[in-house]
Amino acid sequence: MTVEMTPEVTPPSPQGDSPVAAAAEVAAVPSVKEVRSNFDEHAHRKSTFKGLLLFAISLLPFVLGYWGFVELHGWWLKIAAAAVFTGAIPALFIIGHDACHQALTPHSWLNKIVGRIAMLPGCHAYAVWDYGHNSLHHGWTNVRSKDLVWTPLSKEEYDRLSPAYRLVHRLYRTWWGVGAYYAIEMWIKFGMTQAKVKNAKTNRLFWADRLSVVLFVIAQIAVVLFATDRTGLGSNSLAVSAGLLAIGVIIPQVLWNWLMGFVVFQHHTHPTVPWYGDEQDWTFYAGQIQSVVHVELPRPIELILHNIMEHTAHHVDPRIPLYNLEDAQKKLEEAYGGDIVVVPWTLRGYFDTLRKCRLYDYANHQWLDFDGIATTPRLLQRDDAGRLVRPAETRG
């Protein structure tokens, strides 16, 4: 499925702390074309060799880890092997993510094949991800009712929930609940069951890719139960089978979903990052420059995650291959440093974001706690012309 990016039309996205200054800056906000002009030819250069090499490097530990899980003797060796292939799941998924953007290699047909293979270990349906991620999330970043990823509820919406679901929502915004959010809301509900479009052909493709995920899981279970060496695992067949299923299938998926929830939450949720209740107030610059967080992790981790944390550049132009994102991010931060949120990751900062960013006041543009008390200053305000502007004190 080919998904069109948001039309390159940039309504005013003002900044400034006075109506006059704000109005002047509105006119000066860069257009989509101007923002992307910061990227040279190298940024968009795609390489079949680099793309397939990174795919192979990410696939190898998954294959070797699963081989070790099946063939090695004893619980400890199997746990070690499971840790290897579990660690490869996010790396493979990011390869699939890049392929889904048609950025991994110059060949659309090859990207579709690699993308589907790379997303299978993470149990994601490629065509559904293409729609939900490429069209909705990238097309309308941080717009309520458009962007479905980690959209904060207003206090009124939260109060209308049943007591049980209010508890669920509270749990979602905890350090461990981010994984439950992703697994339930994004994977089970949207990805595997509820996502649909008006086009019947596309819906059939959704279900074909979902079927491939189901068949992959069935194959995993069959290998774990019937092909795995059980030497040194004990004599209780039922207990051994349960242990193998837990280590070989269930725990890897739990950890993977937690990591996805953990990472995606921080990409677009931060005490300085606003959300938009009305798409008329949203602009490309506001969504893709000002509402994306560049979370800085130790470089070895960023390499394992294939530079996906260089997230502003990825949102400004998803056609940039992951192997060119680091340079592209540097160019954006040189050009628009005051408007780009850069956050060196710390445990304290992560917990601060979880504490402050629970609900959102879409009228006053402030983050709230679950009692409706503001935890941040106003992130946006309307100027005399009725346009949303960022107060000067909220800029970097």
Pairwise CA distance, residues 46 & 274, whole Å = 33
Q: How many other β-carbons are positioned within 10 Å of the β-carbon of residue 74?
A: 12
pLDDT at 277 over 90: yes
Question: Which string of DSSP letters, residue by residue, matches 264-317?
Answer: HHHHH--TT---BS-GGG--HHHHHTSS-EEEE--HHHHHHTTTTT-HHHHHH-
Q: Is the pLDDT of residue 350 over 70?
A: yes
Average pLDDT, the chain: 91
The residues that bridge with 344 in the sheet, in sequence order, are: 296
pLDDT band at 338 (very low <50, low <70, confident <90, very high): confident
- Per-position DSSP letters for 47-68, written without gaps between them: -HHHHHHHHHHHHHHHHHHHHH
Q: Which pLDDT tens digit goes with each residue over 121-161?
A: 999 999 999 999 999 999 999 999 999 999 999 999 999 99
Comparing CA positions, the residue from 314, 329, 315, 327 lying closest to residue 284 is: 315
Where b means 16+ CB within 10 Å and e means fewer, 366-383 reads bbbeeeeeeebeebbbeb
Question: Confidence band (pLDDT; 50, 70, 90) for 2?
Answer: very low
Amino acid at 345: W
9: pLDDT strictly greater than 80: no
Q: Is the pLDDT of residue 25 over 60?
A: no
Per-residue pLDDT band for 365 (boundaries 50, 70, 90) equals very high
Per-residue confidence at 295, pLDDT binned at 50, 70, 90? very high
Res 66 pLDDT > 50: yes
Residue 292 predicted with pLDDT over 50 = yes
End-to-end CA distance of the chain: 38
Region 370-391: mean pLDDT is 88
- pLDDT higher than threshold 50 for residue 16: no
Q: Give the whole-number percent of the chain exceeding pLDDT 70.
A: 92
Q: Measuring CA to CA, which residue among 92, 341, 72 is closest to residue 233?
A: 72
Q: How many CA atoms lie within 13 A of 251 on its CB side?
A: 17
d(CA 367, CA 173): 13
Whether residue 249 contacts residue 221, with contact meaning beta carbons closer than 8 Å, is answered with yes
3-state DSSP call for residue 171? Answer: helix
Give yes or no for residue 27 having a pLDDT over 60. no
Over pLDDT 90: what percentage of the chain? Answer: 86
Contact 74, 231 (CB under 8 A): yes
Residues 6+ apart with CB under 8 A from 287: 140, 141, 142, 143, 276, 315
Q: Are strands 366-368 and 359-361 parallel, antiparallel or unpaired?
A: antiparallel
For 291, the token pair is 């509402």
What gap in Å lies between CA 303 and CA 94, rounded to an integer? 11
**Residue range 349-353: average pLDDT?**
98
pTM above 0.85? yes
Q: Residue 372: what residue type?
A: G
The Cα–Cα gap between 228 and 71 comes to 6
Residue 296 phi/psi, 5-degree rounding, is -90, 115
Q: What is the DSSP letter of 133?
A: I
Which residues, including other chains, have CB under 8 Å from residue 242's CB and lie 6 or more apart? none
Q: Is the pLDDT of residue 232 over 90?
A: yes
Report the amino acid identity of residue 88.
A
pLDDT on residue 166: 97
Q: Where are the domains of the chain?
A: 15-44+275-396, 47-139+161-268
For residues 103 and 121, give the distance between their C-alpha atoms in angstroms, rounded to a whole number: 20
- Predicted local distance difference test score (pLDDT) of residue 29: 77
pLDDT of amino acid 314: 97
The residue written with tokens 């490097």 in the block is 57
Taking Cα atoms as reference points, which of 6, 39, 7 lies closest to residue 310? 39
